[in-house]
């Protein structure tokens, strides 16, 4: 196992943890702003990773997926939101859900802006190797956060994107939607692993090809523009 591989792995791990912490805090902060104080009262509006990390979903599961050589994803402790506490439950559920992915896109943009502002100084104030490691981390941070954002925007319960349909559901249809959330893990396994095996089509890869990677390329080009 090469040192560059270990460094890339560590950079990815740090980016994932930061991205997840901000993502979950954004959900909790949005719920608080919209009338539900439950998540805030349980310490979820916090930058402390321990308040958000799920030992299985954030640590063990990604390691197992990495070892299996397939797509890797992670999840944190669910943010408790009581819809009846929200001012406009259907609308606000969408806003709370979208807050997470939006925070990751904002983090990716912020990283690109910082890289753009410091790129030249990095290579004149420190060794090429160290400066390159910092820039590589910035690039990893951008890709990881965009991946978290767009993965969570997939309209499959309980991913954040599925909430987009909530305002259009009523009665039995809405109950069925919430019931479907119980089967989140089997659904994700089918989409991420079994569907590509059966069809030979990497659905997530193709989705990222038109979402994550073009936006990441644009941000990285901006980060080094004019240098």
Place of tokens 């109950």: 175
- 24 catalytic per annotation: yes
Query: Out of 24, 36, 92, 160, which one is annotated catalytic?
Result: 24
Instruction: Name, in order, each residue with C-beta under 8 angstroms of 197's C-beta and a sequence gap of 6 or more.
Output: none
The whole-angstrom separation of Cα 44 and Cα 35 is 15
Place of tokens 């949005």: 30
**Where are the alpha helices (H) located in 126-170, listed in sequence order?**
128-152
Report whether 98 contacts 92 (CB < 8 A).
Answer: no
Question: How far from chain centre, in Å, is Cα 127?
Answer: 32
Catalytic site residues? Answer: 24
């Amino acid at each position: 196992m090469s040192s560059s591989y270990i460094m890339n792995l560590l950079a990815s791990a740090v980016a994932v943890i930061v991205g997840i912490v901000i993502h979950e805090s954004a959900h909790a902060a949005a719920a608080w702003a919209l009338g539900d104080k439950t998540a805030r009262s349980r310490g979820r509006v916090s930058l402390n990773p321990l308040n958000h990390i799920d030992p299985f979903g954030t640590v063990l599961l990604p390691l197992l997926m990495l070892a299996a050589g397939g797509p890797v994803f992670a999840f944190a402790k669910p943010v408790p939101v009581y819809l009846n506490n929200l001012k406009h439950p259907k609308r606000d559920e969408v806003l709370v859900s979208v807050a997470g992915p939006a925070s990751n896109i904002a983090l990716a943009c912020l990283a690109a802006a910082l890289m753009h502002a410091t790129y030249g100084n990095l290579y004149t104030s420190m060794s090429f190797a160290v400066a390159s490691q910092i820039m590589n981390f910035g690039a990893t941070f951008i890709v990881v956060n965009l991946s978290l954002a767009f993965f969570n925007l997939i309209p499959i319960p309980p991913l954040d994107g599925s909430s987009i349909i909530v305002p259009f559901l009523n009665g039995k249809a809405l109950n069925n939607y919430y019931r479907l959330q119980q089967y989140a893990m089997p659904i994700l396994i089918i989409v991420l692993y079994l569907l590509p095996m059966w069809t030979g089509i990497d659905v997530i890869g193709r989705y990222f090809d038109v979402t994550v990677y073009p936006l990441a390329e644009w941000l990285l080009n901006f980060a080094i523009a004019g240098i």
